[in-house]
């Protein structure tokens, strides 16, 4: 099963029932700014001397003298920063030196340690304990006291040390920089490689030491002096003026994400936390652990307390005590509860939950338990907040602006929609605070750590989908906002601002549908965003189950309506998962409770319930009509479904198919096949028998479907309408434009120009995007029926086109090429292209069945070579028969 991993720069806030935010941003969890000392041994760094070509320091200035005195023969030393607060008796300096004196093969390294003092008191203390000391020339007189994490003084001290370290590199010295809240239990040089320019500690290790997706922690790192590393430190320090309020560590992470290491030709290694441990991620092996960093901790007092406990346990291990465990870092955990005067509550919550990559999880899966400490719960009411605190989690109470969100919010109710918008506003605030995040609903089970499956600093957003079309960068995938990752930057912040601003113009629409609409209008491209859609094989859900237990990472209870149903079916999933052992052949349990949840009576109309059940997250579905004549065994319905099951990438579309039954027999047959079904209100008319072409019953049934389709558009749903006498050989969505046109419609004959209204439309297959223009078109179309007696709806639409209806309404229309959307009127000449085949130019059901079966058999035998479609003989003969009703 998947190993644990971390993800640089993530976070997330969620609500639904109890909102949660997984937030990822590397947090250098210290309330100080020290660079810590290191040690050396006899085999130290003869291999680390990489004197830059530029120059060596000529003058023996104070810094050069200090560097020469403390360095090894190969011009390598250990550097740490000391201020008055750290220099106090029994303080961090004392504990740091104690670890060097008591560690394995570390005491000899003290003579190669250079303490950089930021104030006179620290400098005098350094001299008193007979260490190598250098007094930093600083214009900031406030650096002597404790600098709380992310305070102005903390940030200033971090940048001062970057400037100094750049100067050290320019003088030809390589170094380990170590914060003073790092215990040196063993000599680390034996664990450092000889070929890298930089070797960096991290808060969380993802298993790959050369993967730039590991989040940097600048509390412990080694740098070899070279032109490449000098250039990096110059660029890093120069970035400070454009990074106000951002600590140096986050700036370096950003530079890394933009390819700075690769651009400078640097080789960088990320240090395994099994050896270079910390409070964010404890090493599990006492035989390997080399250093322990009090990261993920906020105050000096807490660091001293918990590091002292670590040192006591380490001494027990060295003295032969078996079965020792690291002590709980209680003081550091509690340190985040101290309120800083200048920090708002959200910032405190974000910092408290965040790791080097900020994330959240609910599950008992593989290597996921450790992520719980990086989970931020966003509670929408006091009860939820109290429950969160009782579980000793990271909690933040959302200001819901007087709206009561404490009760269960059923799908698409006004309370549900309001809660979705509240979370969008909140997540925008998180981005503005500079945090990236994974957002996950609480109805998502985390079975494996998902960060290995998320791309590394390449996309601005990565979205889960209800149904995945196979192309991770195709905007036609419908977004599901129950699980997604966002990188904090100007582009994503602008997107969330624009998204939330649309709420007032999107009454009755949930935030997800608004985002899908923004996507269709080109918002992602306009903002210059790169977006990836996540494969349901890995990021599974009830809408589209993953078929591979070896891949599945998360499971979302989407396509489910009530909390009770979600709990029942997710529990069944978790029970099944726990029996999986990589060799077993198990099947996901049926999501019966969720399926049944849609049958619960609500204030919603029956059509809305049916549309929700069938639609993708983009509010897009496939609609067809069914009557008794079509529903017979081995009839048109069975042939239609057979084409979906045998077609190329079409079977999964069946779950997005809504059958509109014109009579009870058709409805019963639909339900027997466990399809999405809706009973048409026929206003007393009988449509159960076959309606021959152009009979009164046929014409009336066509108008009924126009009326229904108009209502679908008014409900805000996009759709493909398809007659049942069409076989689907390939997935047609791949051949439809991504919401660029309002209407895309098939033709009996295609003239070669897709935007020429002289093409003859066929209403047996078309795609419509729901908007004011298409609703107006369908209103006008249906309204024309009374003035068009004896005309079928298709001919009326043709007349409207000839009168310029599309232009008047501003409707953009594309006419579909018969090479792809073929029919009996005009066969496709290219079997490699053909996507659908319509039995148009045919008059009876029996003839359609005969000739469509022949098409399907021919298609099944196609092997990539040329193919000849069978002659549509039965359909030709159908026109010779007398009309009988």
CA 810 to chain centre: 36
What's the pLDDT band for 261 if we cut at 50, 70, 90? very high
416 or 758: which leads in pLDDT? 758
Please tell me what DSSP assigns to residue 258. Answer: T
Give the Cβ contact number of residue 865 at 10 Å.
7
The domain in which residue 284 lies consists of 60-298
Element (H, E) at 379: strand 375-379
Residue 373: per-residue pLDDT = 62
Quick one: average pLDDT of 154-178?
89
Verify that 169 and 124 share a domain, yes or no.
yes
Residue 273: per-residue pLDDT = 92
Verify that 614 and 549 share a domain, yes or no.
no
- Please give the angle made by the CA atoms of 873, 875 and 879, to the nearest 5 degrees: 115
Verify that 579 and 448 share a domain, yes or no.
yes
As for how many domains the chain has, the answer is 3
Q: Give me 537's structure tokens.
A: 């094989």
Quick one: average pLDDT of 352-365?
42
250 or 786: which leads in pLDDT? 250
361 or 450: which leads in pLDDT? 450
What's the pLDDT band for 22 if we cut at 50, 70, 90? very low
Verify that 624 and 571 share a domain, yes or no.
no
Rounded to whole angstroms, the Cα distance separating 843 from 872 reads 12
- Please give the angle made by the CA atoms of 397, 402 and 407, to the nearest 5 degrees: 70
Rounded to whole angstroms, the Cα distance separating 218 from 115 reads 17
Beta pairing class for 620-626 and 718-722: parallel
CA 96 to chain centre: 41
Whether residue 809 is contained in a domain is answered as yes
Quick one: average pLDDT of 532-542?
93
Q: Give me 881's structure tokens.
A: 């028969």
Residue with tokens 């069978």: 870
pLDDT of residue 7 exceeding 70, the answer is no
Whether residue 129 is contained in a domain is answered as yes
Whether residue 187 is contained in a domain is answered as yes
Q: What b/e sequence results for 824-839 when a residue is b if at least 16 CB atoms lie within 10 Å of its CB, and e otherwise?
A: bbbbbeebeebbbbbb
Q: Give me 309's structure tokens.
A: 């406990």
- Weakest mean pLDDT among 218-227, 368-377, 453-462, 553-562: 368-377
pLDDT of residue 220 exceeding 70, the answer is yes
pLDDT of residue 25 exceeding 60, the answer is no
Q: Taking a C-beta distance cutoff of 8 angstroms, is the pair 276, 188 a contact?
A: yes
What burial class does residue 772 get, using C-beta atoms within 10 Å of its C-beta: 0-12 exposed, 13-18 middle, 19+ buried?
exposed
766 or 705: which leads in pLDDT? 766
Verify that 511 and 639 share a domain, yes or no.
no
Quick one: average pLDDT of 680-699?
55
User: Which of the listed residues 273, 298, 323 is the one where a domain comes to its end?
Assistant: 298
Rounded to whole angstroms, the Cα distance separating 404 from 382 reads 11
Q: What is the number of helices (H) and of strands (E) in the chain?
A: 28, 31
Verify that 590 and 631 share a domain, yes or no.
no
User: Which of the listed residues 298, 329, 351 is the one where a domain comes to its end?
Assistant: 298
Q: Taking a C-beta distance cutoff of 8 angstroms, is the pair 379, 399 a contact?
A: no
Whether residue 67 is contained in a domain is answered as yes
Whether residue 197 is contained in a domain is answered as yes
pLDDT digits (tens, 9 = 90+) for 267-294: 999 999 999 999 888 888 889 999 999 9
Q: Could you give the angle at which helices 490-501 and 414-432 cross, rounded to 10 degrees?
A: 150
Please tell me what DSSP assigns to residue 36. Answer: B
pLDDT digits (tens, 9 = 90+) for 47-91: 344 444 444 444 458 899 999 999 999 999 999 999 888 888 889
Of 215, 553, 212, the residue nearest 358 (C-alpha): 215
pLDDT digits (tens, 9 = 90+) for 497-524: 888 877 765 555 667 777 877 887 778 8
Residue 5: per-residue pLDDT = 33
Quick one: average pLDDT of 524-551?
88
Give the Cβ contact number of residue 235 at 10 Å.
16
Rounded to whole angstroms, the Cα distance separating 308 from 306 reads 5
Q: Give me 751's structure tokens.
A: 């003239």
pLDDT digits (tens, 9 = 90+) for 127-148: 999 999 999 876 544 444 444 4
Verify that 582 and 534 share a domain, yes or no.
yes
Quick one: average pLDDT of 209-226?
90
Query: Using H for helix, E for strand and C for coil, what is the string for 808-871?
Result: HHCCCEEECCCCCEEECCCCCCCCCCCCEEECCCCCCHHHHHHHHHHHHHHHHCCCCCCCCCCC
Whether residue 399 is contained in a domain is answered as no
Question: 3-state class of 699 per DSSP?
Answer: helix
pLDDT digits (tens, 9 = 90+) for 841-855: 888 889 999 999 998
Q: Taking a C-beta distance cutoff of 8 angstroms, is the pair 19, 481 a contact?
A: no
Rounded to whole angstroms, the Cα distance separating 656 from 544 reads 11
Residue 498 sits in a domain of what CATH number? 3.90.550
Rounded to whole angstroms, the Cα distance separating 7 from 355 reads 9
Verify that 279 and 255 share a domain, yes or no.
yes
Radius of gyration of the chain (CA): 33
Residue 335: per-residue pLDDT = 78
Quick one: average pLDDT of 367-392?
68
User: CA distances (Å), 66 to each of 112, 177, 291, 474, in order?
Assistant: 10, 15, 25, 59
Question: 3-state class of 662 per DSSP?
Answer: coil
Greatest distance between any 2 Cα atoms in the chain: 114
Residue 282: per-residue pLDDT = 87
Q: Give me 582's structure tokens.
A: 């990589």
Residue with tokens 């359909």: 875
pLDDT of residue 403 exceeding 90, the answer is no
pLDDT of residue 793 exceeding 90, the answer is no
Rounded to whole angstroms, the Cα distance separating 250 from 26 reads 7
441 or 45: which leads in pLDDT? 441
Quick one: average pLDDT of 613-641?
91
What's the pLDDT band for 337 if we cut at 50, 70, 90? low
Verify that 166 and 256 share a domain, yes or no.
yes
pLDDT digits (tens, 9 = 90+) for 653-684: 999 999 999 888 989 999 999 999 999 876 55
Residue 311: per-residue pLDDT = 94
Main-chain phi, psi angles of 142, to 5 degrees: -95, 5
Percent of the chain past pLDDT 70, that is, above it, reads: 76
Whether residue 116 is contained in a domain is answered as yes
Rounded to whole angstroms, the Cα distance separating 862 from 494 reads 49
What's the pLDDT band for 304 if we cut at 50, 70, 90? very high
Rounded to whole angstroms, the Cα distance separating 493 from 527 reads 10
Q: Give me 653's structure tokens.
A: 């579309």
Verify that 740 and 817 share a domain, yes or no.
yes
Of 813, 691, 645, the residue nearest 744 (C-alpha): 813
Give the up-direction half-sphere exposure of residue 724: CA atoms within 13 A in the CB hemisphere: 26
Residue with tokens 């003839």: 847
User: Which of the listed residues 550, 585, 604 is the one where a domain comes to its end?
Assistant: 604
Verify that 590 and 679 share a domain, yes or no.
no
What's the pLDDT band for 697 if we cut at 50, 70, 90? low
pLDDT of residue 461 exceeding 90, the answer is yes
Residue with tokens 């990074």: 243
Beta pairing class for 821-823 and 836-838: parallel
User: CA distances (Å), 358 to each of 136, 273, 337, 485, 490, in order?
Assistant: 34, 17, 18, 11, 19
Main-chain phi, psi angles of 575, to 5 degrees: -65, -40
Residue 638 sits in a domain of what CATH number? 3.90.550.10
Residue 576: per-residue pLDDT = 86
Verify that 669 and 696 share a domain, yes or no.
yes
Beta pairing class for 198-202 and 132-135: unpaired
pLDDT of residue 405 exceeding 50, the answer is no
Of 426, 405, 584, 599, the residue nearest 500 (C-alpha): 426
Whether residue 770 is contained in a domain is answered as yes
How big, in percent rounded to 5, are the helix, strand and coil portions of the chain? Answer: 40, 15, 45
Rounded to whole angstroms, the Cα distance separating 218 from 202 reads 8
């Amino acid at each position: 099963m998947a190993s644990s991993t971390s993800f640089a720069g993530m976070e997330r806030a969620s609500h639904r029932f109890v909102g949660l935010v997984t937030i990822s941003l590397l947090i250098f969890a210290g309330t100080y700014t020290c660079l810590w000392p290191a040690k050396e041994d006899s085999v130290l760094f003869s291999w680390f001397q990489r004197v830059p070509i530029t120059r060596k320091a000529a003058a023996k200035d104070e810094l050069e003298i200090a560097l020469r005195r403390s360095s090894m023969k190969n011009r390598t030393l250990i550097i740490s920063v000391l201020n008055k607060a750290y220099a106090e008796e029994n303080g961090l300096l004392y504990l740091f030196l104690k670890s060097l004196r008591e560690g394995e093969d570390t005491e000899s390294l003290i003579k190669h340690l250079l303490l950089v003092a930021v104030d006179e008191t620290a400098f005098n203390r350094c001299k008193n304990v007979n260490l190598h000391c250098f007094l930093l020339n600083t214009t900031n007189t406030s650096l002597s006291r404790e600098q709380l994490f992310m305070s102005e003084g903390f940030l200033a001290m971090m940048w001062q040390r970057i400037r100094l370290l750049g100067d050290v590199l320019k003088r030809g010295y390589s170094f380990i920089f170590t914060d003073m809240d790092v215990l040196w239990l063993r000599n680390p040089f034996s664990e450092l490689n000889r070929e890298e320019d930089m070797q960096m500690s991290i808060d969380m290790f993802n298993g790959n030491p050369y993967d730039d997706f590991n989040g940097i922690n600048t509390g412990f790192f080694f740098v070899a002096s070279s032109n490449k590393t000098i250039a990096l430190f110059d660029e890093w320090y120069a970035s400070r003026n454009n990074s106000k309020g951002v600590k140096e560590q986050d700036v370096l992470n950003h530079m890394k994400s933009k390819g700075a290491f690769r651009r400078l030709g640097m080789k960088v290694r990320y240090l395994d936390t099994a050896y270079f441990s910390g409070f964010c991620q404890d090493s599990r092996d006492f035989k390997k652990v080399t250093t322990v960093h009090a990261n993920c901790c906020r105050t000096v007092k807490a660091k001293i307390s918990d590091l002292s406990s670590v040192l006591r346990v380490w001494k027990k291990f060295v003295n032969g005590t078996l079965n020792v465990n690291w002590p709980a870092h209680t003081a550091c955990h509690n340190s985040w509860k101290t309120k800083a005067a200048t920090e708002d509550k959200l910032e405190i919550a974000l910092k408290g939950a965040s790791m080097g990559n900020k994330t959240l999880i609910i599950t008992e899966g593989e290597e996921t338990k450790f992520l719980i400490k990086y989970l931020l719960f966003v509670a929408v009411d006091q009860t939820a907040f109290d429950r969160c605190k009782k579980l000793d989690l990271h909690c933040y109470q959302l200001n819901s602006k007087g709206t009561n969100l404490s009760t269960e919010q059923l799908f698409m109710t006004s309370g549900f929609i309001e809660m979705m918008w509240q979370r969008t506003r909140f997540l925008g605030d998180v981005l503005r605070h500079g945090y990236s995040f994974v957002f996950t609903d609480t109805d998502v089970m985390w079975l494996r750590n998902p960060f290995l499956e998320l791309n590394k600093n390449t996309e601005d957003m990565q979205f889960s989908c209800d149904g995945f079309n196979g192309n991770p960068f195709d905007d036609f995938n419908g977004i599901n906002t129950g699980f997604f990752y966002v990188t904090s930057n100007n582009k994503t912040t602008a997107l969330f601002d624009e998204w939330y601003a649309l709420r007032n113009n999107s009454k009755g629409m949930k935030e997800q549908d608004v985002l899908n609409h923004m996507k269709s209008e080109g918002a992602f491209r306009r903002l210059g965003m790169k977006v990836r859609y996540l494969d349901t094989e890995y990021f599974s859900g009830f809408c589209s189950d993953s078929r591979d237990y070896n891949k599945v990472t998360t499971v979302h209870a989407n396509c489910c309506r009530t909390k009770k149903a979600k709990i029942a079916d997710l529990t069944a999933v978790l029970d099944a998962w726990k029996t999986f052992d990589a060799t077993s052949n198990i099947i996901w349990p049926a999501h019966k409770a969720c399926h049944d949840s849609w049958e619960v009576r609500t204030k919603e109309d029956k059509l809305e319930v049916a549309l929700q059940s069938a639609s993708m997250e983009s509010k897009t579905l496939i609609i067809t009509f069914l009557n008794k004549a079509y529903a017979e065994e081995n009839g048109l319905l069975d042939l239609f479904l057979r084409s979906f099951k045998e077609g190329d990438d079409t079977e999964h579309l069946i779950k997005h198919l809504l059958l509109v039954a014109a009579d009870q027999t058709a409805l019963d047959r639909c339900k027997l096949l466990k399809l999405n079904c809706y009973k048409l209100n026929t206003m007393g008319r009988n449509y159960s028998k076959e309606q021959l072409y152009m009979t009164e019953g046929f014409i009336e049934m066509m108008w009924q479907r126009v009326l229904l389709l108009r209502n679908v558009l008014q409900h805000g749903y996009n759709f493909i309408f398809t007659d049942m006498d069409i076989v689907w050989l390939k997935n047609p969505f791949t051949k439809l434009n991504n919401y660029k046109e309002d209407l895309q419609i098939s033709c009996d004959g295609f003239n070669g120009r897709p935007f020429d209204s002289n093409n003859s439309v066929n209403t047996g297959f078309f795609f419509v995007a729901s908007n004011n223009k298409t609703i107006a078109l369908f209103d006008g179309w249906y309204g024309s029926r009374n003035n068009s007696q004896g005309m079928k709806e298709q001919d009326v639409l043709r007349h409207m086109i000839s009168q310029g209806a599309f232009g008047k309404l501003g409707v953009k229309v594309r006419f579909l090429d018969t090479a792809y959307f073929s029919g009996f009127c005009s066969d496709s000449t290219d079997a490699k292209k053909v996507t659908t085949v319509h039995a148009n130019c045919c008059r009876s059901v029996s003839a359609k069945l005969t000739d469509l079966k022949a098409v399907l058999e021919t298609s099944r035998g196609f092997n990539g070579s040329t193919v000849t479609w069978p002659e549509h003989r039965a359909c030709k003969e159908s026109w010779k028969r007398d009309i009988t009703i």
